[in-house]
């Protein structure tokens, strides 16, 4: 819980309840406040993509469009950048985080770049039924590990499955954006 004291004359405390342990952590709140106050901004060398994604999720949840736009621009600039360990961030990591944030433009950019694959996302100890299939192309939906299916929104999985039939990274990226727009305009069937 985050408590905010008002000036003495107000004699009230306002509370913001932090309820989602996945991204409402002390670290994320600190990074968010640092960005909001201009104290420090994250870079690909100082924050993981997942932490940056969680910071964006926090800004979206608490309706902070300026901070959200700032963090999203840093996230976009990180595509193809080198992380703190000297490795280039994988496109599939970007795609996965951007899909969870409902950012189809970033997903499309990741498809266009095409570096890396979902094979890096499997966890230690995963068995062959739940992990990825080595040797398959990076964004091949057939080769996804189980965790990737669970993490990605269904509209993004559907669009990614459809673009697997398209040749060329640029064409896939454009078709992906089109298909996400189709998915957003299509009402969900009621059972």
pTM (predicted TM-score): 0.74
Q: Does residue 96 lie within any of the structural domains?
A: no
Both 190 and 108 in one domain: the answer is yes
| Alpha-carbon gap, residue 103 to 25, rounded angstroms | 23
Average pLDDT, the chain: 78
Q: How confident is the model at residue 66 (pLDDT cuts 50, 70, 90)?
A: very high
The H or E element spanning position 2 is strand 2-5
Q: Point out the domain boundary residue: 89, 117, 140.
A: 89
- Taking alpha carbons only, the member of 118, 113, 120, 55 closest to residue 79 is 113
For CA atoms 42, 43, 46, 51, give the dihedral sign. positive
Q: Does residue 3 lie within any of the structural domains?
A: no
Q: Point out the domain boundary residue: 40, 66, 89.
A: 89
**Residue-wise burial string across 154-184, b where 16 or more C-beta atoms lie within 10 A, e elsewhere:** ebbbbbbebbeebeebeebbbbbbebbeebe
Q: Which two tokens stand for residue 129?
A: 């039924």
Q: Which two tokens stand for residue 86?
A: 């000297």
For range 93-110, the mean pLDDT? 90
Q: Does residue 22 lie within any of the structural domains?
A: yes
Q: Does residue 98 lie within any of the structural domains?
A: no
For CA atoms 161, 165, 167, 172, give the dihedral sign. negative
Q: Does residue 186 lie within any of the structural domains?
A: yes
Domain span including residue 27: 8-89
- Contact between 91 and 114 (Cβ < 8 Å): yes
Give the pLDDT score at 188: 76
Q: How confident is the model at residue 125 (pLDDT cuts 50, 70, 90)?
A: very low
Evaluate if residue 90 carries a pLDDT over 50.
yes
For range 111-116, the mean pLDDT? 71
Evaluate if residue 181 carries a pLDDT over 90.
yes
Q: How confident is the model at residue 26 (pLDDT cuts 50, 70, 90)?
A: confident
Out of 98-102, 104-108, 132-136, 182-186, pick the least confident. 132-136
Give the pLDDT score at 124: 44
Residue with the bigger pLDDT between 138 and 161: it is 161
Give the pLDDT score at 11: 59
DSSP readout, 73-96?
A: HHHHHTTT-B-TTSPBPPHHHHHH
Model pLDDT for residues 76-88, shown as the tens digit of each residue: 888 877 665 666 6
Both 85 and 13 in one domain: the answer is yes
Both 75 and 118 in one domain: the answer is no
């Amino acid at each position: 819980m985050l408590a905010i004291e008002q000036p003495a004359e107000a004699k009230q405390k306002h509370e913001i309840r932090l309820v989602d342990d996945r991204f409402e952590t002390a670290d994320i709140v600190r990074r968010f406040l640092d960005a909001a106050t201009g104290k420090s901004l994250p870079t690909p060398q100082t924050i993981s993509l997942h932490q940056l994604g969680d910071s964006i999720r926090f800004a979206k949840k608490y309706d902070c469009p300026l901070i959200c736009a700032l963090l999203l621009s840093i996230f976009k600039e990180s595509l193809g950048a080198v992380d703190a360990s000297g490795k280039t961030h994988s496109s599939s990591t970007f795609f996965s985080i951007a899909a969870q944030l409902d950012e189809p433009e970033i997903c499309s950019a990741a498809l266009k770049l095409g570096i890396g694959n979902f094979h890096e996302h499997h966890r230690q100890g995963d068995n062959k039924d739940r992990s990825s299939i080595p040797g398959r192309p990076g964004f091949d939906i057939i080769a996804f590990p189980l965790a990737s299916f669970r993490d990605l929104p269904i509209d993004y999985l559907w669009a990614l499955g459809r673009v697997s039939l398209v040749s060329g990274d640029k064409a896939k990226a454009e078709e992906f954006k089109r298909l996400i727009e189709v998915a957003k305009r299509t009402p969900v069937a009621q059972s």
